[in-house]
Amino acid sequence: MPNSDGNGAAHNHGRFVHISRRRLFASFAAGAPVLLAGPALAAGWHNIDVAGDVPPLAFAMTDASTGKPVTAADFRGKLVMLYLGYTMCPDVCPLTLQNVGTILKKLGPKANDVRLLFVTVDPDRDTLPVLKRYTSVFAPQIVGLRGSADQLAQLARRYRLAYSVSPASKTHPYEVTHSSAIYVFDQDGQPRLLVPSLATTKPDLAGTADDLQRLLNESQPGWIARLSRMF
């Protein structure tokens, strides 16, 4: 059921739980939670291995911290976490970002090599100054991104992430829905993991931190990095 942010807006969050790789994209399209099959946690990952099943990181939006256009190329060399949300979200988004902040602290100095891209699904209300203030509360590695309706829709289609915004009317309040999943891309922009949600009652923060540390340790050039990903 949607809930309210205190401003007459209702919210409904698609909470994705552990799923098998075969059913991953079907569940995204339907927005329905399914159970995890063992192969999805291959090779000792705590989260879902999506290498080879998801397109490389690509987008064009505006960075709220600088007001300048950015693309995926601007974050090359960083481990990127991609998350859709909005600043007036009453529960899932702030909890997710708070937990990301905790994970980043666990990484120590290596946190400087990570960026979480917080892409607003509510650009009409999330202006660049609003988005900048909101993300700065949680961690310096969290970057707010704001795109046009077309840019946002293109990104969501590319990664099969669900969201919707319904303006208020006489019969229902302003309503926003979005998935709670986080994609993780390596320093080359290649897809590696899916974190189903960090807004559950008992999120695996230590496990996710371990996964990120493992990916950061792969930051070696050329064939060495490719070889390390095989084991």
What's the pLDDT score for residue 206?
Answer: 97
Assess whether pLDDT exceeds 70 at residue 85: yes
What's the pLDDT score for residue 38?
Answer: 46
What's the pLDDT score for residue 22?
Answer: 42
- Model confidence pLDDT, tens digit, residues 134-159: 999 999 999 999 999 999 999 999 99
Whether the full predicted model's pTM is greater than 0.85, yes or no, is: no
Mean pLDDT (the chain) is: 83
Residue 170 binned pLDDT confidence (cut-offs 50, 70, 90): confident
Tell me which of 197 and 6 has the higher pLDDT: 197
- Model confidence pLDDT, tens digit, residues 86-116: 999 999 999 999 999 999 999 999 999 999 9
Assess whether pLDDT exceeds 80 at residue 217: yes
- Give the C-alpha separation, 184 to 79, whole Å: 7
Q: What is the CATH number of the domain that holds 171?
A: 3.40.30.10
- Model confidence pLDDT, tens digit, residues 184-212: 999 999 999 999 999 988 999 999 999 99
**Domain enclosing residue 73, as ranges:** 3-228
Q: Which residues contact 115 (CB under 8 A, 6 or more apart)?
A: 75, 78, 79, 80, 81, 141, 142, 143
What's the pLDDT score for residue 230?
Answer: 53
- Model confidence pLDDT, tens digit, residues 49-73: 999 999 999 999 999 999 999 999 9
Half-sphere exposure of 207 (CA within 13 A, CB side): 15
Total domain count, the chain:
1
Strands 48-49 and 191-195: antiparallel
**Is residue 158 a contact partner of residue 57, using CB atoms and an 8 Å limit?**
no
**Is residue 121 a contact partner of residue 165, using CB atoms and an 8 Å limit?**
yes
**Is residue 104 a contact partner of residue 212, using CB atoms and an 8 Å limit?**
no
DSSP 113: G
